[in-house]
Amino acid sequence: MNFKTAVKTCLKEKYIDFNGRASRSEYWYFVLFYIIVCFVIGIIGGFISQTALGALSVIVSLGLLLPSFGVVVRRLHDLDKRGWWIFINLIPILGGLVLLFFFVQRGTAGPNRFGPDPLQNQKAASNGTSNQL
């Protein structure tokens, strides 16, 4: 999955979808998108007032909150873990490190209890389009 497809999937197709699985690339591309958005807001903040920057930051954060939770839960599902593991992040430092460790691992090969392997779906789609050429 490329950057554009990952962002489109998270923001349009699966905006508040907590079902299914998300590959590593979908998750990390969305994280990169989130970082870029925050960086751009910071740059814009240099040109506008602090009040307007605060309001803009809140609006963007609220707009990206549900897709962020959705992609995190789907990424946990890809590792065959329940979405409730997201709350381990409430443990200072250790929780974030555990989630980071989870998110850099390859997902479960083949289908698991949360659905089919997203990487197999991508390979099948790319094989189908290359055969049509």
Locate 74 and state its tokens: 């789907």
pTM of the entire predicted model: 0.85
Could you give the count of Cα atoms lying within 13 Å of 45 in the half-sphere of its Cβ?
14
- In angstroms, the CA 109 to CA 132 distance is 27
List the chain domain ranges.
3-132
Q: For residue range 40-88, what is the model confidence (pLDDT) as tens digits?
A: 988 887 787 777 788 888 899 999 999 999 999 999 999 999 999 999 9
Question: What is the mean pLDDT of the segment spanning 87-104?
Answer: 95
Q: What is the mean pLDDT of the chain?
A: 88
The label of the residue with tokens 């497809």 reads 5
Query: Confidence band (pLDDT; 50, 70, 90) for 104?
Result: very high
- In angstroms, the CA 32 to CA 80 distance is 24
- In angstroms, the CA 73 to CA 84 distance is 8
Residue 106's SS3 state is: coil
pLDDT of residue 92: 94
